[in-house]
Amino acid sequence: MSDLLSVEHLSKSFGGLKAVADVSLTVTSGEICSVIGPNGAGKTTLFNMISGVLRPTGGRILFDGTDLATVSPSRFAAIGIGRTFQNLALFKHGTVVENILTGRHTHLRSNVLDAVIFFGRTRREEIEARERVEHIVEFLEIEHIRDAVVGTLSYGQQKRVELARALACEPKLLLLDEMVSGMNQEETEDIARFVLDIRDQLSITVLMIEHEMRIVMDISDRVHVLNFGRKIAEGTPAEVRRDPAVTEAYLGGHRSEPLAKVGA
């Protein structure tokens, strides 16, 4: 398997603060990888650079062989990078289906004239978009809320809608930013199952930030650990769990508690 994402000596400074410092990591096609670390470790800043929200101060990011410095941030979704956000970014007055449809925008090719007279390519694209959305609705088991206004849904349901919208852009790489934050046990287990299905059934590579260590340890192929903006460890969940540097970062030297319980 080849590397889909390669982060090379990446850095990001905000004035005198170095939020990310010389971080390198790879994500191989077909993997579920996690980025973990204590609060303030630089995880979200790293995600913001990979998804084009922020430009790096130094280093580079290669996605599917392309240097992202040469790609406009508005094109990141079009080349195959999808993302959910820790803070929901949904249209609260729109329905579930309407929100998911916005994720199809990057695949539209019709011009203004096509749209005005609504035939040919525009009509085909509309049909294809709605078929794709219905497939995602079924995949994520949200048929019963498909016509509901998003603002009336529970937090866990809204998180699932945001995941659906990210899938609608048909990403090669899906970035999940604390998907199970604020969810109950049943919702958390559902999301873990969906992430595995996204990889296994949809053939989408997943890179996630997650504080819920049970999810990280159960479904990740590899784990990258950040602390104070630097990568301090990398390996399988079992290897990371045993790494003294990781235990030190999370527990400050108090090693009697298993890492899997941290953040639970």
Give a yes or no: residue 215 inside a domain. Answer: yes
At residue 64, does pLDDT exceed 80?
yes
Q: Is the domain of 62 the same as that of 193? A: yes
Provide the pLDDT for residue 124.
74
Provide the pLDDT for residue 15.
87
Q: How confident is the model at residue 104 (pLDDT cuts 50, 70, 90)?
A: confident
Tokens of 191: 């999301």
Provide the pLDDT for residue 127.
78
Q: pLDDT by residue (tens digit) across 196-214?
A: 999 999 999 999 999 899 9
Q: Is the domain of 258 the same as that of 175? A: yes
Q: What is the CATH number of the domain that holds 187?
A: 3.40.50.300
254 or 196, higher pLDDT: 196
Angle at 162 between CA 46 and CA 103, to 5 degrees: 90
Domain boundary among 169, 192, 212: 169
At residue 111, does pLDDT exceed 50?
no
- Amino acid, res. 140: L
Q: pLDDT by residue (tens digit) across 170-203?
A: 999 999 999 998 889 999 999 999 999 999 999 9
Give a yes or no: residue 48 inside a domain. Answer: yes
Domain boundary among 126, 152, 169: 169
Q: Is the domain of 2 the same as that of 107? A: no
d(CA 56, CA 8): 11
Give a yes or no: residue 85 inside a domain. Answer: no
DSSP letter string, 162-225: HHHHHHHT--SEEEEESTTTT--HHHHHHHHHHHHHHHHTT--EEEEE-S-HHHHHHH-SEEEE
